[in-house]
Amino acid sequence: MTRIAIVTGAARGIGAATARRLAADGYAVAVVDLDEAACAGTVAAIAEAGGRALAVGADVADEDAVTAAVDRVTAELGAPTVLVNNAGILRDNLLFKMSADDWDAVMNVHLRGAFLMSRAVQSHQVEAGFGRIVNLSSTSALGNRGQANYAAAKAGMQGFTKALAIELGPFGVTVNAVAPGFIVTDMTRATAERVGVPFDDFVAATAKEIPVGRPGQPDDIAAAVSFFCREDAGFVSGQVLYVAGGPRA
């Protein structure tokens, strides 16, 4: 039986790598992002590798859009039982410069988006007696200068994960979180631009502080998500796995 997975924020970076990995694992994958056209590359890569994928445009912070997206996935691919809440944005600034809109935008995409997507998918999971939800947190949940909004959202994802693990566990649904460290993506490139450092220098300096001696790649995170989605990972729930090249609290 082919299971159906939804990956949000899957047009690029960690989300795209995760969608490709789950497709390689045998899932049919709904590639969800704000701009449906931006998902074409991910969908094409999956199709070229022999997988099945569907591009879906949706704002995960919009309740009606989420309902429509999950309904479309159900109609065109099948009932989704695997969900990866990866969609995220940055609105970095020091607290005294951060606007309320900057705060709200980050909270809405990360937390409201994960809530709406999980709520929309859980009925399919409960009906199937099987489900996997993986939420993307971050080492920034431990605190990071200039990221009060992002850090709070990513810490919130961890609490959300643990609460859902308790609620949904009796129905065969596990809920876990992956907390990436420094990963080479467009998002970290934007961080380098914010602090005024050339990206190559930024990566090199960061790598020196990572015990394994290199920056992370999106595929490193996709591998961790893949584990949590496996059927034989059913006794692992409510966990936060830091994938950061070294130990984290």
**Which positions are catalytic?**
150
- CA-to-CA distance for 87 and 109, rounded, in angstroms? 7
Query: Helix H segments across 186-244?
Result: 186-195, 199-207, 218-229
Count the Cβ atoms, other than its own, within 10 Å of residue 193: 12
| Number of residues in the chain | 249
Phi, psi of 58 (to 5 degrees): -160, 140
**Integer angstrom CA distances of residue 237 from 85, 169, 218, 229:** 16, 8, 23, 11
- CA-to-CA distance for 123 and 118, rounded, in angstroms? 9
